[in-house]
Amino acid sequence: MTTATAAPVTHDGPRARFTDLIAAEWLKTWSLRSTPWLYALSALAVVAFNAGTAYDHYKYWYQYDKGSQEFFVTHRLALVDTFTDNAALVLVLALAAIGAVSVTGEYGTGLIRTTFTAVPARRSVMAAKVLVLAAVSAAFGVLVAAASFASTQAILSGRGASVALGDPGTLQALAASALLAPVAALAGLALGTVIRHTGASVVACVVVLLLLPMVLSDRRHLTAVLRHTLPFSAWDRLTGGALPQPPPELFPWAEVGAWTVYALWALAAGAVAVCAVHRHDQ
């Protein structure tokens, strides 16, 4: 009497192409109704901060003396209103939180298990997520920077104090502000991948991206150098350097160094997200 043996289970189906993974991450990004709302509310908050500062200068323009008005115009301080410190803080916090939640949300719901079961190549999945998040957040940054520039300069043009897109330093300030969004989002994604808990990841984003630049003093060489390695400090250097007379610094550093900080943070965050998910269980 012969007994039949069960055939081994094999997975001979076609492997998912990387373009398929990108399409899947794109669908997951917009499948939650909260995601478009988070982007929209963040954009409104950033533009509102900038437009509010510009309107304040417009409203109280005639309370300044003639010298202050001329100083505002000749030093192109309208460029500062295009993207204020408060708006940059909101942008960093919002985009870092969105980046963190994009992965911690999947861990919380268990969707990450389904994803890795369907596609065991974890690094490929996370690489697709990194690319999609970088593209969406970069587009978000460009739109917010453009909207802020258009609204603030339209307001200040009523006092003859606006700057033009072709003026020296304008494009640099706008590019620095726009690219701050994907850098913050990727940093949040990396922290979320390592920590895998939404609340703790958001707290880590606040500490690393917002509190450290405030705690590290720029009046001592060591702390100033450490401060220069942070994205918010790089943004501050690039936007301040776009002015005719940049703010004085005890330990000045080159603009190429600030752009390098942007690039290294984005690349390192993407690498951490890809490698960390490969080394940890779901």
Measured CA to CA, the distance from residue 237 to residue 252 in angstroms comes to: 9
Tens digit of each residue's pLDDT (9 = 90 or more) over 24-35 = 889 988 887 788
Contact 145, 178 (CB under 8 A): yes
User: What pLDDT is stored for residue 277 in this prediction?
Assistant: 81
Predicted confidence (pLDDT) at residue 274 exceeds the cutoff of 70: yes
Model-level pTM? 0.90
Q: Model confidence at 280, in pLDDT bands (50, 70, 90)?
A: low
Neighbours of 142 (CB within 10 A): 17
Predicted confidence (pLDDT) at residue 52 exceeds the cutoff of 90: yes
Tens digit of each residue's pLDDT (9 = 90 or more) over 109-149 = 888 788 788 877 888 999 999 999 999 999 999 999 999 99
What are all long-range contacts of 18-23, with beta carbons under 8 Å and residues at least 24 apart? Answer: 18/124, 18/127, 18/128, 21/119, 21/124, 21/125, 21/127, 21/128, 22/128, 22/131, 22/132
Q: What is the CA radius of gyration of the chain?
A: 23
Measured CA to CA, the distance from residue 108 to residue 60 in angstroms comes to: 50
Nearest to residue 280, comparing CAs of 29, 128, 103, 134?
Answer: 103
With vertex at residue 195, the alpha carbon angle to CA 194 and CA 200, rounded to the nearest 5 degrees, is 150
Tens digit of each residue's pLDDT (9 = 90 or more) over 242-265 = 888 888 888 999 999 999 999 999
Predicted confidence (pLDDT) at residue 105 exceeds the cutoff of 60: yes
Mean pLDDT of 208-223: 92
Which residue reads 């010298």 in tokens? 67
